[in-house]
Structure 1
């Protein structure tokens, strides 16, 4: 029903924007800034600095290449798209046309939003295995769609029966982060491919977010279903270099999709950003073509931090239970010491113990009763945070 326009509501924000919620991660950071003296197990930012060889490449380009301060092609630098295509073939066995199937974006977030705005129409439903990355919900709502939460199992695995039962004629997409934020899960290749079979059978799109594909503990990269030819029209792949190369502030990622989808995604990309920042694309190319020892070193450190986080949680087994993370750098810890909702618990922990965590309820219904902890910070930060939590609980 159309809203009757008056001088008052002409000056109000749109219903689309009023329907979405601010990020819980950012809200907790704002509260922490007011409280002061906090340590963080909150925002998913690894503590590593951008590798020096990447900074040197960008500095050299800015000094010597006049094009480094100008727009790139709308789809991104040719050399970068070609590099992405090579990497996908080598690492994921996915053959991609760099001219028509790759668009470099302002981080993975823009890639996700441009994709959702392209795929999802008013009244469409989008299945979100939950707990899910919180921004998926807001993007779906912003596009006029309806999020449909399907709980993961108690081991944070996909419930294929429940997902099948959630599919309706209005189902347009399913969004999946693998490895998972916020759970730290790694969905099995068999389950991911089974989801894609459902997508083909029922005519919806699987939007797969691979921001953490490099960080799997004791295993290789998960399957990218674009490697299966019959899934090419039903899968859109999102990637980001933010975490892998410590480029969170550089804002560079990409979307890979069949040309029929990319032609439409590019319209949103152009309307929103024109192109990704050229210096950030230069950084991305230097990162992907340079020595990969920096990634291996960061993975070794994250493995140590995972072990420390799990050890500290084990000491608090009367207060928390958790599923050991198999990827990324998050753990969803179920608290046992209160029945209060997760936002109340997170705020109390922040204000009384000065430890930042993220309320699990922000990640969908399946996350309520949990706190998301990030172990991306240095070991001394993780230890200090848990020392404060122990004192607070005891």
Structure 2
């Protein structure tokens, strides 16, 4: 008998890493790995020094409160209140072992087997995987050419089994920053229909817009509709220490606490202590990291002008990601592994972010550029421009 986990697709990042097995790359033309969005560097030196001192604290090695260390919950509530011009209290904050677990815990508290969650396409693959493994149906919400979900199209997908709409902004995989008006309309829709709006803001710290990207936390009764998710992995490079967060109503966090206690008991205490130190001491450093990511984004956008003449199209670009439409006759699922050999580039096909059979996935690639410097990004663009592959036939026209 096949289990739901057995029927779930294999994680895309390890799958793409298999394309490198047995391959070697020259020093003159090294592999440019643009597949994974996680920071490749460790936390900054000043944080590592502070973490070394934390190791002598016995509490760093012990279980902590299931919903997180009180000092971290309080510091994060203050940070969120200041950033969004709103009132967020520590009781609205739960700490999880990474943002993926925040999503899993939220759905465990909100859904039964057979329930539905509306997700824009292309979607974040780990969200889809969790739904598949737990028997929750992911209802695809196709986006238009701008890759922004339409709230009125989402309304058409609501059924008696719908429990939530889940979005990621800035988006993974497209990099698109959803406008405040879109989030406001989705919030209104969820509030009207009794759904939860799950907003994964893992890449919030690299949004190109100054200030708060939306005003949802200023809405009356926000905690009864909104569930915000966050990750410390990107902002402070704490990927291996697994610290994420959930912002919502205390009543929902009470049910999430049951999930946490069963699965992880608590997020790692050492990582939580580091995250708290980062909130208090790394504000200027994180601003610098944001500026660097925005500079790399600009370099990729500028460089892409070279590819436009070759039929490539930059569909979206922001935070850690670019979403590019290729001009070739083959699909992206065939093209992506071929690029390892022909361009010494590793990127993901958009088929890893779309429903099976969705033709849009074969037309696009996801580029994760956060770990590539500007020179590498220029080289990436140059290598794509040198490809000599059969082009997609232009659409037929009628007289």
Same topology, TM > 0.5: yes
Q: Which runs of 5+ in 2 are unaligned?
A: 26-30, 390-399
- The Cα offsets for residues 347-370 of structure 1, whole Å up to 9 and x where unpaired, read as 111233221001111111454410
Q: 1:296 aligns with which of 279, 287, 291?
A: 287
Q: Distance in 2 between matches of 1:79 and 1:106?
A: 16
Work out whether 1:392 is the aligned partner of 2:387.
Answer: yes
Q: Distance in 1 between matches of 2:222 and 2:209?
A: 28
Pair 230,81 (structure 1): closer, same or farther in 2 beyond 3 Å: closer
Work out whether 1:353 is the aligned partner of 2:343.
Answer: yes
Work out whether 1:67 is the aligned partner of 2:62.
Answer: no
The answer to whether the 8 A contact 2:78-2:89 is kept is no
The answer to whether the 8 A contact 2:66-2:261 is kept is yes
The answer to whether the 8 A contact 2:170-2:178 is kept is yes
Work out whether 1:321 is the aligned partner of 2:320.
Answer: no
Q: Distance in 2 between matches of 1:263 and 1:256?
A: 12
Matches within 5 A, 1:362-377: 362-364=352-354, 365=358, 367-376=361-370, 377=372
Matches within 5 A, 1:24-63: 24-37=12-25, 38-63=31-56
Pair 201,368 (structure 1): closer, same or farther in 2 beyond 3 Å: farther
- The Cα offsets for residues 332-357 of structure 1, whole Å up to 9 and x where unpaired, read as 1011122x322111111123322100
Corresponding residue for 1:15?
3
Q: Distance in 2 between matches of 1:47 and 1:24?
A: 18
Number of aligned pairs? 378
The answer to whether the 8 A contact 1:177-1:210 is kept is yes
The answer to whether the 8 A contact 2:169-2:203 is kept is yes
Q: Distance in 2 between matches of 1:17 and 1:181?
A: 23
Corresponding residue for 1:101?
92
TM-score scaled by structure 1?
Answer: 0.91
**Structure 1 vs Structure 2 CA RMSD:** 1.8
Pair 273,373 (structure 1): closer, same or farther in 2 beyond 3 Å: same
Q: 2:236 aligns with which of 245, 252, 277?
A: 245
By how many angstroms is 1:330 displaced? 0.6
Corresponding residue for 1:86?
78
- The Cα offsets for residues 107-158 of structure 1, whole Å up to 9 and x where unpaired, read as 1111111112221211111111111211111111222111111111201222
Equivalent residue of 2:240, what SS? coil
